[in-house]
Amino acid sequence: MKVLVTGGAGFVGSHVVDRLLDDGHAITIVDDLSTGRRELVNPRAALEVCDIRDPRLGAVMRAAGPEAVVHVAAQAAVSRSVEDPLFDASVNLLGTISVACAAQQVGVRRVVYISTGGAAYGDTDVVPTPEDHPTRATSPYGVSKVAAERYLECWSGLSGVPVMTLRLANVYGPRQNPRGEAGVVAIFAHRLVHGEPCVVNGDGEQTRDYVYVADVADAVARALGRVEVVGVVNVGTGRETTVNDLYRRLAGIARTTVPAQHAPARPGEQRRSALDATRARTLLGWTPATALDGGLARTFADFRDHRGFVNHSATARPGDSTNRDPVHQSTGGRSTGSPDRAFASGGARETAMIDEELRAILVCPACKGDLLFEETRIICPACRKAYPIRDGIPVMLINEAEPWTPPPHRP
Ligand SMILES: NC(=O)c1ccc[n+]([C@@H]2O[C@H](COP(=O)([O-])OP(=O)(O)OC[C@H]3O[C@@H](n4cnc5c(N)ncnc54)[C@H](O)[C@@H]3O)[C@@H](O)[C@H]2O)c1
């Protein structure tokens, strides 16, 4: 299918593009490169550098002739929305209307809109928060994203084009900008790689729902294929993780014992946030496949190896759809199609993808015991189980394990 992805040169959008290309779609990206980067653009996609508010968008859309649009582009910084709400609304609201109008002109059959969970719901009574909870956005950014949802809902009714809105939790993973205001995983990973102190605002007990970017791309791919499903769907893990816990995990991966520094709490910062993704499971068959520790290890490795500036031409191999997420600790998750930049250099893939960080954090899911790593399997000597390694991915699922017998002792 021909798919137009707005914002495909950004953090989330570039992973969405990679996944959709791997699924066999033909992709045109519309991005003004305001926060996106050309080097994040997959060379198998066509890039049109264009502002979504530009009157040229109609011509760009006609030339691309998409059957579906995934609208990712946005002014995504809460602080900028507070400083300049007009600009925020112009991109997030008027820009979305502009995308919808241009899409209608070329007769698209599906629109997937990327919205936000945490900023839309605000502080809620119910955590994890379901989709039918009232939205209590406390920033212009949250309001503009929810307003754009409402516009698209109205437009869908008028145009007959089915729209699905995905409200994302806190997305993390390779390629996130470590110099942004949010993206605490990217900020910590970047600072740990450079040996700089990490700063936690307030007591660090505020919680967020961290969802791995390739899992988000998987949700988008599913939303694209299930045209009969419309409305709002949360994309998150449902798990709350404190910033303190996040730092502990990342510091462990980085092998540092230096504690985080604490700074005053940010005024008005949300205390708790997690999304109930039951609808995503029921309607899209989506579950987050990447365990937090595995996702953090990959993110850290990516920042260490690429210093946060991943160059597609240097790391991705055109036509390579074999790279997969390395850790599947949850049950029933399918592998997602994010290229594995940190380990994509070929050679002994089975072992190369399981690097030191991952080895250090993997434990047997049955007994939490230490593991032995072989070429094609991972062994728990305590449980006498062997977990397979497929396409370089350790499949740490109890029901996938085979019985393992220790080799006979030779005197
Ligand atoms: N990162 C998260 O944790 C998170 C959480 C919830 C929702 N979201 C949503 O995901 C989407 C992507 O966010 P991100 O974190 O990847 O941010 P990002 O800044 O990396 O990506 C945004 C992309 O949109 C492009 N863009 C911005 N304004 C544009 C315009 N006027 N015309 C054309 N292109 C434009 C940017 O150049 C960039 O490539 C946004 O819609 C955001 O609201 C992100």
**Residue 296, in any domain of the structure:** no
Residues 6+ positions from 214 with CB-CB distance below 8 Å = 15, 19, 173, 289, 290, 325, 336, 337, 338
Nearest CA to ligand 1 atom 40: 74
CA of 5 to the centre of ligand 1 (A): 11
Same domain, 323 and 226: no
**Residue 49, in any domain of the structure:** yes
**Residue 120, in any domain of the structure:** yes
CA distance 152 to 165: 9
- Ligand 1 interacting residues, C-beta cut-off 6 A: 6-7, 9-13, 30-36, 51-53, 72-76, 91, 95, 114, 116, 145, 168, 170-171
**76 lies in which domain range?**
2-170+211-237+273-289
The enclosing domain of 148 has a CATH number of: 3.40.50.720
Atom of ligand 1 nearest to the CA of 176: 20
pLDDT at 354: 66
Same domain, 224 and 332: no
The DSSP output letter for 284 is H
CA distance 249 to 172: 14
- Give the alpha-carbon dihedral of 169, 57, 21, 347, to 10 degrees: -90
Residues 6+ positions from 77 with CB-CB distance below 8 Å = 141, 180, 181, 182
Count of domains for the chain: 2
CA distance 17 to 44: 9
Same domain, 159 and 278: yes
Q: CB-hemisphere CA count at 13 Å for 374?
A: 11
Same domain, 220 and 343: no
Same domain, 383 and 279: no
CA distance 280 to 223: 9
CA distances from 228 to 23, 31, 101, 111, 232 (A): 19, 28, 21, 12, 13
Same domain, 360 and 282: no
**Residue 148, in any domain of the structure:** yes
Which residue in the list 113, 141, 212, 247 is annotated as catalytic? 141
**Residue 295, in any domain of the structure:** no
Tell me the pLDDT of the chain (411 aa) as tens digits. 999 999 999 999 999 999 999 999 999 999 999 999 999 999 999 999 999 999 999 999 999 999 999 999 999 999 999 999 999 999 999 999 999 999 999 999 999 999 999 999 999 989 999 999 999 999 999 999 999 999 999 999 999 999 999 999 999 999 999 987 779 999 999 999 999 999 999 999 999 999 999 999 999 999 999 999 999 999 999 999 999 999 999 999 999 999 999 999 888 888 999 999 999 999 999 999 999 999 999 999 999 987 544 444 333 332 333 232 333 333 223 233 333 332 223 333 334 456 666 777 777 888 877 888 887 888 888 888 898 887 677 777 777 788 888 776 444
Q: Is 141 a catalytic residue?
A: yes
The enclosing domain of 344 has a CATH number of: 2.20.25.10
Same domain, 233 and 362: no
**Residue 302, in any domain of the structure:** no
Q: Name the residue of 4, 39, 70, 168 whose CB sits within 8 Å of the most ligand 1 atoms, as the mutation to test its pocket.
A: 168
